[in-house]
Chains A and B, each alone.
Chain A
Amino acid sequence: MFEARLAQSAILKKVLEAVKDLLTEATFECSDSGIQVQAMDNAHVSLVSLNLRSDGFDKYRCDRNLSMGMNIGTMTKILRCASSEDTVTLRAWDNPDNIIFIFESQNKEKLSEYEMKLINMDQEHLGIPETVYSCVVKMPSQEFARICKDLSQFGEAITIACSKEGIKFTAAGDYGNANIKLAQTAEADKEEEAVIIDMQEPVKLTFACRYLNSFVKATPLCAQVKLSMSGDVPLVCEYQIGDIGHIRYYLAPKIDD
């Protein structure tokens, strides 16, 4: 049997909102250690890697490893039926055809059950090589979302250049261009407002706006985002999910033709 319970469905609601633009379906790998998802978008340009540790759940039981193929659109619809304060329980039997989502209101007076058919999926796992990144930038997630949104008006791609001085985002298009520079914060009153740059070597990479704008749907999950970059390798854009895990997005760069 598989059963995982969260006291508040808000986290799972936010996770679904953070992946639904990129994925139509995904396999949820459930084991003793927790729930993992690794899935690429249809174009194989981006990859979502989600990790929810079993110890982060209020209750977690997984008698045997399960691979459950889920339709993300349906799952999103189901999660939207839960109030943020509802308790959510995921339940499946061994060799399941279905997964059950159970929402219980705080006062325990409303109990909702949604059963979703699982799908068989061809899995394509990619081995992500261990990489030491030339630049690792931590910055407020809302600021990153704002920059991606603002610069998307000017072009299809954003060039991110990171140096000791700071991080610069540039977009150029037919109607003009724009750039935004962020300096490392000298003194941040609050940790979550800080811009921190850990640089070994300067990096300059270009990425498609449309994927970045999908990644920033994870902004409600965490006040800070971590961007890891090296020359000519995919960007890693990471959001912590409370004490339970993280979501990482990988994005293949655009390179000179």
Chain B
Amino acid sequence: AKKQTTLKYFFKKS
């Protein structure tokens, strides 16, 4: 099964 990632995992808060 695959897990849904979120964008916060890839993009940092600016």
Tell me the A residues contacting B by CB distance below 8 Å.
40, 43-47, 124-129, 157, 206, 208, 233-234, 250, 252-257
Contact = CB atoms under 8 A, between A and B. Distances in A.
A129 B13 CA distance: 11
Closest 8 CB pairs of A and B: A127-B14, A254-B2, A126-B11, A44-B6, A252-B5, A257-B3, A125-B14, A127-B12
Contacts of A256: 2-3
Interface residues of B, number: 14
A126 B3 contact: no
B13 A127 contact: yes
Contacts of A208: 4
Given A157-B2, A257-B1, A252 B14 contact: no
Contacts of B6: 43-45, 252
A128 B8 CA distance: 10
A255 B14 contact: no
- Which of B1, B4, B13 has the most chain A CB within a 10 Å cutoff? B4
Contact of A255 (B3, B11, B12): B3
Nearest to A251: B7
Contact of B4 (A47, A125, A127, A252): A252
